Amino acid sequence: MATIQDIARMSGYSIGTVSRVINNRADVSERARKRIEEVIREQDYQPNSNARMLRQSVSSEISIIIRGTSSVFLQSVLEKTQIRVGEHGESASVQFIGETEDEVAMAVQVVQHLKPKGLIFLGGSVHNFQEEFSKIDVPSVLVSANADGLGYDNLSSFSTDDEGAAAYAVGRLVAQGHRRIGILGGYPGDSSGTMTDDCGALRIRGAVGELGKNGISFDFDNDYEGCAFSAEDGYKAAERLLLRTPDLTGIFALSDVMAIGAIRAFRDMGLHVPEDISVVGFDGILYAEYSNPRLTTIRQDAATLARKSVDSLLLMISYGSPAMHEQIPYRYVNGESVARPRE
Amino acid sequence: MATIQDIARMSGYSIGTVSRVINNRADVSERARKRIEEVIREQDYQPNSNARMLRQSVSSEISIIIRGTSSVFLQSVLEKTQIRVGEHGESASVQFIGETEDEVAMAVQVVQHLKPKGLIFLGGSVHNFQEEFSKIDVPSVLVSANADGLGYDNLSSFSTDDEGAAAYAVGRLVAQGHRRIGILGGYPGDSSGTMTDDCGALRIRGAVGELGKNGISFDFDNDYEGCAFSAEDGYKAAERLLLRTPDLTGIFALSDVMAIGAIRAFRDMGLHVPEDISVVGFDGILYAEYSNPRLTTIRQDAATLARKSVDSLLLMISYGSPAMHEQIPYRYVNGESVARPRE
DNA sequence: CTGAAAGCGCTTACAG
DNA sequence: CTGAAAGCGCTTACAG
């Protein structure tokens, strides 16, 4: 493996000049640049990134931290994020952490070890950023939660208006004539009754708020069943919910995978969706279009979320552009899982 | 951020001794070790990994290269792999590459840049390993394809018996009375008629072979439709296939996502699964259990695949254990998407 | 515009 | 068992 020494020797210049060429500095003669680039190409020379990072104390990589590998939606955002990073000629490495782990604590580790020049959080609780994030001074972007108002000038955020979208989805159920609506998924808050601020809590808040606006009361004890973001949990929770409160005619599930689990549960209970009970999901995962019945859902715009996040991060890194916070429009997708309730 | 210098100064030992403690070397007095470890803890000291890697020219990480982010099955293997790596107290970083890219070429880059102590390939074509892999001398493991017979002593492999499993699945269709069976997905080979050796080709070979054994001829022009490993492509290909060859009563799809796309297509054509047409998939993704109808499929053992792969890799790294090749048992899962053909 | 040199934080023979 | 020192491959003031 050639080193910078070899390139210097073979090109007839010093390692300092070679280094300047590698780093695209302006203060190099055209002649030197030409020659050195030639040798670099010939030798297929790749600078040792460890040495660079040791000196610069910053790597040329971006680190992506994704929480919850099981989230189909976040995985699609991850894929699109990687692609966008690649389009800019940058590279990113990915760190997975568990559903319950603290992404900011992880980020502190990553910054120390990998010295990334930028950080992308895929999924995350605003809660964890509240104070912990002050330890991080690398340009960062939080995807899928709103970090506006946290006051960090190195943290952008792009998210879906979870509260508004949930309200919209429930509004559609109400418009179809549903009055007995159940909510499935997430965890409404801690024992003190305070809601946490993750996307699940926001969706619940939006849904309950919309019901209230329509003069429909919501009884958490009967009409709500919490569960994790998986089909399996959605299945079980849906079963519990409907056994407990059989007169529900519509279900708002906090995610598509839960909705899919719920639909399967209802079928296994001998019910038909949407004839006997309507189900609306959230996310707009690819699979929703191929399920039977096709899922009616809120489709988040994963591609735009990914694109804007990467672009904003790169602008912060390269030009010191200010952090920005944006909500990306969602779409209500009419599938086949919602109908008017039976009379 | 504390450096080894600081720890040396504060503990009253030299940096050499501190380094020995960090690296768990035996030739350190108990007293020195105690004291130095104490200071390390107090200072929350973390060795600079760039400096270590620069010196050792090997990182302490494992690199995972996954091809095709869109494969739900591989993503589940990835998740389980990460978890297993974590259980051993190791850490891994993930590199995603496109469906059509060359994973071994990528690995060469990764080895140069990240200097991993081990490499895990999730998905990959034996073809690419044939000669290219000789450039890599890091202990590696190929998951989901059989590298036995390639003769690399630093490459283990764990896979499903794709050919046998496909034969089994098709055999079940035949046993139910199906005689007109179509195959969906993958690419049967290049123009010369030679089959490539990826898992798709193996599954096709197994399926066609089983049909032959049962005296059923298979006409590639009419009974086969290739497509990529996605629900969308499965949908379109299934539609084309059935329009072209309407008398098919059973479909073997090379993957579950294709099968799900196919089932949706058949429904949109006004058919019922399995009453009008049976569909069997391959992979055993989580979703198959929640689809409607539940999918009949070959379930690959993602957990065992992940566990054995990681364990084998770590044994190679730490003890120079020999590479091994193993096929992990699969299971035929009876869902609701297969029935006897109508008379 | 270019080169010589210091130094990033570590590991590892070498000598004792 | 321990310390002093070389050196991993690079970047970047500094001097010219």
Q: Let me know: does B98 contact B124? Beta carbons within 8 Å.
A: no
For residue B1, what pLDDT is reported?
Answer: 73
3-state secondary structure of B170: helix
For residue B293, what pLDDT is reported?
Answer: 96
**Residue bearing the bigger pLDDT, B25 or A277:** A277
Give residue A111's pLDDT band: very low, low, confident or very high (50, 70, 90).
Answer: confident
Asked if pLDDT for residue B189 goes beyond 60, the answer is: no
Give me the mean pLDDT over the B296-307 stretch: 97
Distances (CA, A) of B64 to A143, B67, B120: 24, 10, 5
Contacts of A75 in chain B (CB under 8 A): 69, 75
Whether A190 sits with its Cβ under 7 A from any strand C atom: the answer reads no
Q: Name the minimum distance, in Å, from the CA of A60 to any CA of chain B.
A: 11
Residue-range domains of chain A with CATH: 4-47 (1.10.260.40), 56-159+302-328 (3.40.50.2300), 162-300 (3.40.50.2300)
Query: In this structure, what is the dihedral angle of CA atoms B43, B44, B49, B54, given to the nearest 10 degrees?
Result: 20
Q: Would you tell me how many other CB atoms lie within 10 Å of the CB of residue A340?
A: 14
Residue type for B274, please? P
For residue B188, what pLDDT is reported?
Answer: 58
Distance from residue B10's CA to nucleotide C15's C1', rounded to whole Å: 25
The nucleotide minimizing the C1' distance to residue A3's CA is D9
Give me the mean pLDDT over the B217-246 stretch: 95
Strand D: which of residues 6-65 in chain A lie with Cβ below 7 A?
15-16, 19-20, 22-23, 46-48, 51-52, 54-56
Q: Name the minimum distance, in Å, from the CA of A207 to any CA of chain B.
A: 25
Q: Let me know: does A155 contact A141? Beta carbons within 8 Å.
A: yes
Rounded Cα distance between B135 and A178, Å, is 64
Whether B55 sits with its Cβ under 7 A from any strand C atom: the answer reads yes
- Residue A145 burial class via C-beta count within 10 angstroms: exposed 0-12, middle 13-18, buried 19 and up: buried
Asked if pLDDT for residue B305 goes beyond 50, the answer is: yes
Residue nearest to nucleotide C5 (CA to C1'): A16
Which residue reads 């109908």 in tokens? A339
Residue-wise pLDDT for B89-139, tens only, equals 677 777 878 777 889 988 887 887 677 889 999 988 888 898 889 888 889
Rounded Cα distance between B217 and A289, Å, is 35
User: Which positions in strand C are less than 7 Å from the protein's CB atoms?
Assistant: 1-5, 7-13
For residue B193, what pLDDT is reported?
Answer: 41
Asked if pLDDT for residue B36 goes beyond 90, the answer is: yes
Residue-wise pLDDT for A135-146, tens only, equals 888 899 999 999
Whether A292 sits with its Cβ under 7 A from any strand C atom: the answer reads no
Give residue A59's pLDDT band: very low, low, confident or very high (50, 70, 90).
Answer: low
Asked if pLDDT for residue B190 goes beyond 50, the answer is: no
3-state secondary structure of A244: helix
Tell me the residues of chain A between 13 and 42 that have a Cβ less than 8 Å away from chain B: none
Give me the mean pLDDT over the B71-83 stretch: 86
Rounded Cα distance between A230 and B77, Å, is 17
For residue B24, what pLDDT is reported?
Answer: 83
Whether A21 sits with its Cβ under 7 A from any strand C atom: the answer reads no
Strand D: which of residues 2-31 in chain B lie with Cβ below 7 A?
12-17, 20, 26-31
Chain A interface includes B286 (CB < 8 A): yes
Contacts of A72 in chain B (CB under 8 A): 72
Asked if pLDDT for residue A302 goes beyond 90, the answer is: yes
Asked if pLDDT for residue B196 goes beyond 90, the answer is: no
Whether A112 sits with its Cβ under 7 A from any strand C atom: the answer reads no
Give me the mean pLDDT over the A317-335 stretch: 91
Q: Name the minimum distance, in Å, from the CA of A268 to any CA of chain B.
A: 10
**Residue bearing the bigger pLDDT, A295 or B286:** A295
Give me the phi and psi of B14, to 5 degrees please.
-85, 165
**Residue bearing the bigger pLDDT, A315 or A271:** A271
Q: Let me know: does A200 contact A230? Beta carbons within 8 Å.
A: no
Rounded Cα distance between B129 and B142, Å, is 10
Asked if pLDDT for residue B22 goes beyond 60, the answer is: yes
Whether A195 sits with its Cβ under 7 A from any strand C atom: the answer reads no
Q: Name the minimum distance, in Å, from the CA of B271 to any CA of chain A.
A: 13
Give me the mean pLDDT over the B290-316 stretch: 95
Residue-wise pLDDT for A192-207, tens only, equals 444 456 788 899 999 9
Give residue A52's pLDDT band: very low, low, confident or very high (50, 70, 90).
Answer: confident
Long-range contacts of the stretch A308-311 (C-beta < 8 A, 24+) = A308/A158, A309/A81, A309/A120, A309/A141, A309/A143, A309/A156, A309/A158, A310/A81, A310/A84, A310/A85, A310/A88, A310/A120, A310/A141, A311/A84
Q: Let me know: does A302 contact A73? Beta carbons within 8 Å.
A: yes
Asked if pLDDT for residue A128 goes beyond 50, the answer is: yes
Percent of chain A with pLDDT over 70: 94
Give me the mean pLDDT over the A289-310 stretch: 97
Chain A interface includes B2 (CB < 8 A): no
For residue A125, what pLDDT is reported?
Answer: 84
User: What is the average pLDDT score of chain A?
Assistant: 89
Distances (CA, A) of B257 to A186, B172, B183, B185, B230: 27, 20, 14, 10, 6
Percent of chain B with pLDDT over 70: 94
**Residue bearing the bigger pLDDT, A102 or B256:** B256
Chain B interface includes A135 (CB < 8 A): no
Q: Let me know: does A115 contact A59? Beta carbons within 8 Å.
A: yes
Asked if B287's CB is within 8 angstroms of A231's CB, the reply is yes
Asked if pLDDT for residue B256 goes beyond 90, the answer is: yes
